Chain A
């Protein structure tokens, strides 16, 4: 029988229950002051949340009900009700952006997580200079998107880019990576994968190290090879972690902006001349900043918020079901 997945450290029953007792003694007799203290200590987060998240959220909701356009005088206070949302549902560019977002998301998240799992597995083994290599996989993550974009724009350049040069050596025709759905999605996804794989690999690695080595020893005695061990011990033990990374990278790909914005050489937030890789956030950005349509862009932003909420809920239900099967 495989044991159930290890619970996160915070939930795991603490080793020696009695150890906490002395610390409690000082805080005993919860009079007025100490009742308020924990609230006061967590308040900075909630204050920041209110100022930087809750208020913008509400204000964006309000703006989305107006016809505010910076290029039209006096449009700031025109209340248009749900007109922006009605327009949004019928806007082919918004749907196009949603499709691109999901497409690029799939194309980047799936290989990214598989690759991360594999890298984590390698890093978990015996390696020379293990710490160095483990830290090394995080380097793309701490590199700024802008410099990543400059490099990859060069790599994927149509006329004199190394990628096309390699393709040419292999006898293939040069690809215009900045146009067409598949080429541009691939190029943008490669940038995302490059940036996030190491990050996910480290998360997996941390979880892998929490797997009791006895399980592997027992499996080895039973004659299970490396691959079987990976499949039947590592993967099931990592299940909660995998669910976590899937949710986080799903949200991340719904909000994908930097890579497609910088990959467009014209910098007009169009995501390619035919909007091939214009993601949803990029579309919001374009409508807001370039076209000055504050009202409509706010409606788009709220739509994205709702979409993400739905996706997270679906994720949670699926995750619960997966966990339930165990």
Chain B
């Protein structure tokens, strides 16, 4: 039985409880002090960029700092970052941003720490690399380069041998000095290939590889979208389509479980191999150790991928986060990462250091990766990116997948251009 006063009190208590519950979710963040006391720094990544050993080493050198890694897949990671930037809360202290995405965030450069003001030694990277994470007037730098994706071709020596192709890297490299020759070599391979084996994994990856050798792909240097008019894009498209028609593609979608299975079962003999792909293969198809080798990429040079470490200004521990980002991307750590994960450092001066230059990769038949990737990068053009670059690239990738599934290439091409136009809207 509720009396009047009791009823009112109960109602009040109920409302208060609800209010507390509702606000409780919002204020659950850590109450640690800004500078003094222990600090937990979060690092948002979308793959293997840093190692736990590296974090522990940093913690040991900086008492009171704890590092926690937050991981999501590529798409989710970048979407979450955007959500956190828009809402003004929730971002990690250090956020990695992929090269195809970084220019999408340059439009919101005020939401990131400007590394121009933090005293980072930018001379350790090439100007072109730094420019990719800088605003067009060069006044703000929002990300520090981590790794870079110099291109090569990874191939299965066992499958090459069965198909009667040469297996030594020099001879294999000589097989395809250009991407046209690469597609041609695919035909030769298919003629004598073991059952269930094709030339490469996915047309989209071949397309990325071909474009990795171009300075201008979807944007021109003044920032206009030229994806539909750029002959280089159309040329790459046509070549990829030609390869699909010749039956060279395993038609797998990259980074899927089926793609991993493809690596494990040797469904394809070659794969376009940015430096970071080595680690991916090693992790996802460990039993193929020793069956791989690495040849020079057609065209001799190219880049696909790489990341930047950014520090969103919404973070509570900006100073410590900047310090951490600076440390994680410094040359010494880049070499450690390279030795453990295979991600190739962006820092130019590391390329001549013995740890990098003399490196060989046992998993890939002792391929001299320390010379392969610098060679590929030295001649690689400075690529132009724009805000929608990632979306445009996805649109072309999807369109090529439809071609693999039987859609008329002309239709797929015009569909891709429509998607590109829509993305800009």
Q: Check: B123 CB closer than 8 A to any chain A CB.
A: no
- Cα-based distance from A275 to B410 in the complex (angstroms): 17
9 nearest interchain CB pairs? A40-B11, A273-B401, A265-B256, A33-B4, A26-B1, A71-B387, A289-B79, A44-B18, A37-B7
Q: How far does the Cβ of B75 sit from chain A's closest Cβ, in whole Å?
A: 5
Q: Check: B291 CB closer than 8 A to any chain A CB.
A: no
Contact indicator B75/A267 (Cβ below 8 Å): yes
Q: Check: B10 CB closer than 8 A to any chain A CB.
A: yes
A–B Cβ pairs within 8 angstroms, 29 of them: A31-B4, A33-B8, A36-B8, A37-B7, A37-B10, A40-B11, A41-B14, A43-B18, A44-B15, A51-B22, A70-B108, A71-B387, A91-B422, A93-B422, A157-B258, A159-B262, A176-B405, A266-B254, A267-B73, A269-B75, A273-B401, A273-B405, A274-B398, A274-B402, A274-B405, A274-B415, A290-B75, A291-B391, A294-B86
Q: How far does the Cβ of B18 sit from chain A's closest Cβ, in whole Å?
A: 4
Contact indicator B108/A289 (Cβ below 8 Å): no
Interface residues, chain B, CB within 8 Å of chain A? Answer: 1-5, 7-8, 10-12, 14-15, 18, 22, 73-76, 79, 82-83, 85-86, 104, 107-108, 253-259, 261-262, 265, 267, 387-388, 391, 394, 397-399, 401-402, 405, 407, 415, 422-423, 425
Q: How far does the Cβ of A293 sit from chain B's closest Cβ, in whole Å?
A: 7
Chain A 36-48: CB-based contact to B (< 8 A → 1; otherwise 0):
1100110110011
B-chain residues with CB within 8 Å of residue A267 when the two chains form the complex? 73-76
A-chain residues with CB within 8 Å of residue B14 when the two chains form the complex? 40-41, 43-44
Contact residue among B79, B258, B405 (Cβ-Cβ distance under 8 Å from A290): B79
Contact indicator A296/B425 (Cβ below 8 Å): yes
- Cα-based distance from A37 to B401 in the complex (angstroms): 62
Which residue of B has the minimal Cβ distance to A68?
Answer: B86
Chain A 280-293: CB-based contact to B (< 8 A → 1; otherwise 0):
00000000011111
Contact indicator B107/A73 (Cβ below 8 Å): yes
A-chain residues with CB within 8 Å of residue B104 when the two chains form the complex? 70-71, 292
Q: Check: A228 CB closer than 8 A to any chain B CB.
A: no
Which residue of A has the minimal Cβ distance to B387?
Answer: A71
B-chain residues with CB within 8 Å of residue A93 when the two chains form the complex? 422
Q: Check: A270 CB closer than 8 A to any chain B CB.
A: yes
Contact indicator B2/A37 (Cβ below 8 Å): yes
12 other A-B residue contacts (CB within 8 Å) besides A26-B1, A273-B399, A296-B425: A36-B11, A41-B11, A44-B14, A48-B22, A87-B425, A93-B422, A176-B405, A180-B405, A265-B255, A266-B397, A273-B401, A274-B405
Q: Check: A34 CB closer than 8 A to any chain B CB.
A: yes
Do most interface residues of chain B lie in helix, strand or loop, or is the interface mixed? helix
Q: Check: A229 CB closer than 8 A to any chain B CB.
A: no
B-chain residues with CB within 8 Å of residue A48 when the two chains form the complex? 18, 22
B-chain residues with CB within 8 Å of residue A71 when the two chains form the complex? 104, 107, 387-388
A-chain residues with CB within 8 Å of residue B387 when the two chains form the complex? 71-72
A-chain residues with CB within 8 Å of residue B75 when the two chains form the complex? 267-269, 290
- Number of cross-chain contacts by CB at 8 Å: 127
Which residue of B has the minimal Cβ distance to A39?
Answer: B11
Known A40-B15, A41-B11, A160-B261; contact A32-B4, beta-carbon cutoff 8 A: yes
Contact residue among B1, B388, B394, B405 (Cβ-Cβ distance under 8 Å from A270): B394
A window 1-49: CB within 8 A of B? 26-27, 31-34, 36-37, 40-41, 43-44, 47-48
Contact residue among B7, B253, B399 (Cβ-Cβ distance under 8 Å from A33): B7
Which residue of A has the minimal Cβ distance to B415?
Answer: A274
A-chain residues with CB within 8 Å of residue B4 when the two chains form the complex? 31-34
Q: How far does the Cβ of B9 sit from chain A's closest Cβ, in whole Å?
A: 9
Q: How far does the Cβ of B348 sit from chain A's closest Cβ, in whole Å?
A: 30
Q: How far does the Cβ of B107 sit from chain A's closest Cβ, in whole Å?
A: 4
B-chain residues with CB within 8 Å of residue A290 when the two chains form the complex? 75, 79, 391, 394
Q: Check: A121 CB closer than 8 A to any chain B CB.
A: no
Do most interface residues of chain A lie in helix, strand or loop, or is the interface mixed? loop
B-chain residues with CB within 8 Å of residue A37 when the two chains form the complex? 2, 7-8, 10-11
Q: By the criterion of a CB under 8 Å from any partner CB, how many residues of chain A are at the interface?
A: 48
The listed residue with most B CB atoms (<10 A of its CB), out of A34, A179, A291, is A291
Which residue of A has the minimal Cβ distance to B9?
Answer: A33
- Cα-based distance from A290 to B387 in the complex (angstroms): 12
Q: Check: A258 CB closer than 8 A to any chain B CB.
A: no
A-chain residues with CB within 8 Å of residue B394 when the two chains form the complex? 266, 268, 270, 290
A-chain residues with CB within 8 Å of residue B267 when the two chains form the complex? 159
- Cα-based distance from A227 to B265 in the complex (angstroms): 52
Q: How far does the Cβ of B59 sit from chain A's closest Cβ, in whole Å?
A: 32
Q: Check: A154 CB closer than 8 A to any chain B CB.
A: yes
Contact indicator B15/A43 (Cβ below 8 Å): yes
- Cα-based distance from A289 to B394 in the complex (angstroms): 14
Which residue of A has the minimal Cβ distance to B11?
Answer: A40
A window 141-169: CB within 8 A of B? 153-154, 157-160
Known A36-B11, A51-B22; contact A72-B398, beta-carbon cutoff 8 A: no
Q: How far does the Cβ of B10 sit from chain A's closest Cβ, in whole Å?
A: 7
Contact indicator A34/B2 (Cβ below 8 Å): yes
Contact indicator A273/B402 (Cβ below 8 Å): yes
B-chain residues with CB within 8 Å of residue A157 when the two chains form the complex? 257-258, 261
A-chain residues with CB within 8 Å of residue B73 when the two chains form the complex? 267
Contact indicator A72/B22 (Cβ below 8 Å): no
Contact indicator A292/B82 (Cβ below 8 Å): yes
- Cα-based distance from A119 to B388 in the complex (angstroms): 50
The listed residue with most B CB atoms (<10 A of its CB), out of A40, A87, A266, is A266
Q: How far does the Cβ of B215 sit from chain A's closest Cβ, in whole Å?
A: 22
Which residue of B has the minimal Cβ distance to A161?
Answer: B258
- Cα-based distance from A101 to B253 in the complex (angstroms): 24
